[in-house]
Structure 1
Amino acid sequence: MRTTRRPSLGRLFALGLLLATSVVATGPAATAAAPTTDLGPNVTVFDPSMPLGTIQATLDAAHAAQVDNEMGTTRHAYFFKPGTYGTAEQPLHFKVGYYTEIAGLGASPTDVVINGKVEVYNRCLTPTNCIALTNFWRTISNLSINITGKGSEGCRTGTNFWAVSQAVSMRRLNVTGGTLSLMDYCTAGPQYASGGFIADSKLPAVVNGSQQQWLTRDSEVASWSNAVWNQVFAGTVGAPDDATFPSPPYTTLDTNPVSREKPYLFVDAEGEYQVRVPAVQKNSRGITWANGLTPGYTLPLSDFFVATPSDSVKDINKALQDGKHLLLTPGVYDVERTIDIKRAGTVVLGIGHATLTAVNGATPVEISDVPSVIFAGVTIDAGLKKSQVLLKVGKKDKRSNNPADNPTTLSDVYFRVGGPHVGRTNTALEVNTDNVLIDHTWVWRADHGVEGFTDTERWNTNDGRNGAIINGDNVTATGLFVEHFQRYNTIWNGENGTTILYQNELPYDPPTQADWMNGDVEGYAGYKVGNGVQKHQLYGGGVYVFNQNNPSIHTENGFEVPDRPGIKLHHIMTVNLSAGIIDHVVNGVGGPADLTRVGSPVYITDYPAP
């Protein structure tokens, strides 16, 4: 096992400069294999009968086009029909770039086998600055990887590298034949990484390495190497014991209180496309596919309106009103009016990182007060004119009868305010409905982008007041990542809420302390539980500070919660990344995360103390 590297002074400032000057490729990925007409022009479907060289060339060209295309508009999905791809002598070994989805089309992950590797390496922004800190927005799911090392000797022998950060999901994977490493330790340093999310996967020995935080839920691991700041496991067979927290900083829940796997495409025995919608699980542990087909129900693709970016919101809403579900194929959709989801049980599934961009201050998506909606695989961007909210679930003054045993579910839903263009919104995600499950989201006000702003210009231009506001009761979030908003990043007003892994970084860019004041209090906590809440629980939470625009800025508390017995925070921390100070972890408790302990967290095992 390699020694974990901690952040060094100024490394994020250097990263921002390098990103601003790096070359961005914008050309479309090559598609030697013909796209299927059923799934739009930005989907390529492979069949085992295709020459392996053709498949390899297609995927290599896709990676070359997307490896540095962090703020580009190209989106693509590459699907594998059931069968085996590659051999020990001629493995299929490819890498995955930005806005790329790799998925099997089997009913089970074991129906598609890749003999080879599917990988993400560090980006080397200079010969001596190789990192995974900006390896965002890519997806892998529903297949088996039998790690075959031919053609990748030396440091990379026997290991599949998946060096990623936020907004990357690994779901329904079966990995055998070697080691899975979440850190790329084969390049020059510093090799930092900031992920991440795994669900419903059966994995070999896993090297966490430099990953600062990670959530693994409802999975099996042969072993897990180490922790850095905040490694969380829920319902994972083989997860490490957390009895000696914070040395190491593991948080382990034997079962996951509520889960629902993301819907997925598959091809049935007749060659027809279907969408499997997994069932809700309570107190789950391990994978859903151990005994065959994942429990749930199946919808034919003919029940979906298959949209492309050329389809108008009017046409999409008409299809939804007519009882269709919605499949958003890869691309960037300009949304000038709200996509209204008004029918109970509607499934909306994005593939290939389908992206909705707000136009003229629109709210891109609103889910009405109806039960059991599933919204998955979609990125939502703020636009030039300020939106009130980007995704709204229910109305604040009205509570739905959303059932606890079949909750509305948001899976792999990502938000951006700035980055590829100027963005403005008051709130990114607002959840008013009760019994909602949020399963992996990254709510990001950009700390860098192609706009060319200084930090002060970004503060005054890319408006983002709050990241997530949760007003509904009995809401559960598994993998809640919220960063850089200008007031409270997360406000939780609903009763009986549960968060399993929370990651927050405070904004880089407040120009002065006066710009970062909450009344008479210095700054806004990264996680705020409403003053009237009686019951709330958080497992594994971290708030980070890097006020690079003004390193003298203070934030009073990382977490701010009511002091009452029903509020329980388990395994929380703050950490300084070389600029700014968080004075306390929670409610005046815990020492300062200041420049005397850069990269070394301040931990609280339980608040309030038992």
Structure 2
Amino acid sequence: SDPRHLRVTPRGNARMLAVQLIAFLVPFSSLAFVALQPNPPKWPESVKVFSPTNSTAAIEDAVNSAFKTNGGQKDHGQFSTYRYAFLFKPGSYEAQVPVGYYTQVLGLGSSPNDVKFTSEKGVYCEEGDYTFTVGALNTFWRAAENFHTSANYNWFGGYEGMLWAASQASPLRRIMVDEKLVLYQYYDDGSHPGAAGYSSGGFIADVKVNGSVSFGSQQQFFTRSCEFGAGDQAVWNTVHVGSSGVPKSHCGRTKTIPGSPMISIDSVPIVREKPFISVDSSGKYTLNVPEVRINSTGTSWASGSEKLDTRDFSKIYVTKPSDTADTINQMLFMGLDVVVSPGIYNLTDSLKVQKEDQVILGLGMATLVSSTGKPCIEVSDVDGVTIAGLMLGAGTVKSPSLLKWGTGNFKGDRANPGFIHDVFVRVGGTNDVNVNEVSTELMIDLQNGNIIGDNLWLWRADHDQSGQVYGGANPCSTGLNVDGDDVIMYGLFVEHTLKNLVTWNGERGR
């Protein structure tokens, strides 16, 4: 019979047989009809989608329930197993949205201006501990993207606007801020009046702030492709690439130049912004992949001339937290892009990316864990792949790496490089080293050339559920290994590995 009439059966070996028969009998391009996905997608419970027709009370009930689990003082929820993504359709919202651990807030507009938060606090993140020596030092693993905020709450001392008092692995992207953006927090507990809570560095990209940006107690910070009304600097060092409204570069404190070292580079050599999701008035979803920009400055969207590769969600597979590596790999093999829903995925095999321009995009700090000693993700020798928005975790069986990119025999394409956006690797933390250890030799291993990293935090945990981690527990030798040429890193944070933080063997790296 006509192979186009073969049907993928829902269960067992018959399903695999049908897929294999189709793959054998028809060209790959004809497989699209087999894998058509629902649009709008069937989101799991870990994803909540809101529209302006939802009441403010209903929205706040949902976000406050998540925050009760994954937020609040004394770093509550730091090693929680719950993951959340809150998606807001175009329109205006009066809700106050606190963002806790493993939580992501995303607007679903084509432009950040399509989704606007008009409440006094808007979308915000307070430091996880009001004790000033802790402050935001452990305020990790959360994100906010693609919206407009007119927040004007006075957090302290006239600092009015959007508060994002967080540290590593807590990026802001593609946001329009009307007032100030405040990246740290004062909280007077009476014992140390006027003491700002400690904070240990972060990342902002593609953000426009009409007011000033205050880095305050941030130990270090990285911005890229931003437009600020004005900006100061962090405590120790700050790096700006392609951002405006920031101080000029200087090498440290002198009589004529106060403040800590700061680097400001005029333009971004090459970048493609992180893919994002939008929805139209008919309820159809699109995955938007921005174009590559060369020697760019400022945001990608504010001028209104942004160019996007738009991909209909009928060709996007949205995972369920119960999915296995085999299930996801079937979809990748058929050429679909994959959106990884919030959850923890204990993988018995690597996710294998073998198609040019393929995208894996995680939501809500979706977490992939190596459970059999294999990398969580392996990328083949192909151009234009994007891996974004994921946490990768080491397992109890030692792995060679948690993300392996290429064989070492592929130069890549400068016009269509591979991208890694907001990928956070963790060795330890969720385990108790007194009970069991986790390990990996490397966290990320880049064998191929022309790969660009854009906000990576590679962390061998210095504390876990039982307290501080000492000695060589949860061993990991090296955070990042680069063997390919022409690799660029924007915002690379690596901590606590036992040998080298980074080993860079490739040529022309930046």
**What TM-score do you get using the length of structure 1 for normalisation?**
0.71
Work out whether 1:46 is the aligned partner of 2:50. yes
Amino acid at match of 1:197: F
Partner Cα distance (2:332, 2:430) in 1: 29
Partner Cα distance (2:490, 2:420) in 1: 10
Work out whether 1:308 is the aligned partner of 2:320. yes
For residue 464 of structure 2, give the secondary structure of its aligned residue in structure 1. coil
- In structure 2, the residue matched to 1:102 is 105
Residue pair 1:108, 1:293 contacting (<8 A) in 2 also: no
Q: What is the aligned length?
A: 449
Distance 1:327 1:480, change over 3 A: same
Work out whether 1:136 is the aligned partner of 2:140. yes
- In structure 2, the residue matched to 1:113 is 116
Counterpart selection for 2:176 from 174, 177, 189? 174
Residue pair 1:220, 1:286 contacting (<8 A) in 2 also: yes
Alignment of 1:245-324 (within 5 A): 245-246=252-253, 247-248=258-259, 249-292=261-304, 294-324=306-336
For residue 362 of structure 1, give the secondary structure of its aligned residue in structure 2. coil
Amino acid at match of 1:399: F
Partner Cα distance (2:130, 2:150) in 1: 31
Displacement of 1:148: 3.5
Partner Cα distance (1:357, 1:373) in 2: 21
Fraction of identical pairs, as percent: 36
Instruction: Give the root-mean-square deviation of aligned CA atoms.
Output: 1.7
- In structure 1, the residue matched to 2:385 is 373
Amino acid at match of 1:85: Y
Residue pair 1:122, 1:187 contacting (<8 A) in 2 also: no
- In structure 2, the residue matched to 1:551 is none
Displacement of 1:93: 2.2
Partner Cα distance (2:393, 2:272) in 1: 25
Counterpart selection for 1:69 from 66, 74, 77? 77
**What TM-score do you get using the length of structure 2 for normalisation?**
0.85
- In structure 2, the residue matched to 1:185 is 186
Counterpart selection for 1:403 from 404, 413, 430? 413
For residue 55 of structure 1, give the secondary structure of its aligned residue in structure 2. helix
Partner Cα distance (1:157, 1:101) in 2: 24
Work out whether 1:227 is the aligned partner of 2:234. yes
Amino acid at match of 1:124: D
For residue 77 of structure 1, give the secondary structure of its aligned residue in structure 2. strand
- In structure 2, the residue matched to 1:522 is none
For residue 455 of structure 1, give the secondary structure of its aligned residue in structure 2. coil
- In structure 1, the residue matched to 2:495 is 483
Higher strand share: 1
- In structure 2, the residue matched to 1:446 is 461
Partner Cα distance (2:87, 2:401) in 1: 33
Work out whether 1:357 is the aligned partner of 2:369. yes
Amino acid at match of 2:455: H
Partner Cα distance (1:300, 1:334) in 2: 28
Work out whether 1:201 is the aligned partner of 2:207. yes
Distance 1:163 1:253, change over 3 A: same
Partner Cα distance (2:128, 2:188) in 1: 9
Distance 1:238 1:156, change over 3 A: closer
Partner Cα distance (2:136, 2:180) in 1: 19
Comparing 293-302 and 198-207, the one that deviates more: 293-302
Alignment of 1:562-573 (within 5 A): none
Amino acid at match of 1:328: V
Alignment of 1:72-91 (within 5 A): 72-86=80-94
List gaps (5 residues or longer) in structure 1.
Answer: 1-35, 87-91, 499-610
Work out whether 1:344 is the aligned partner of 2:349. no
Displacement of 1:301: 1.1
Displacement of 1:271: 1.8
- In structure 2, the residue matched to 1:218 is 225
Residue pair 1:439, 1:478 contacting (<8 A) in 2 also: yes
Amino acid at match of 1:69: G
Partner Cα distance (2:361, 2:391) in 1: 11
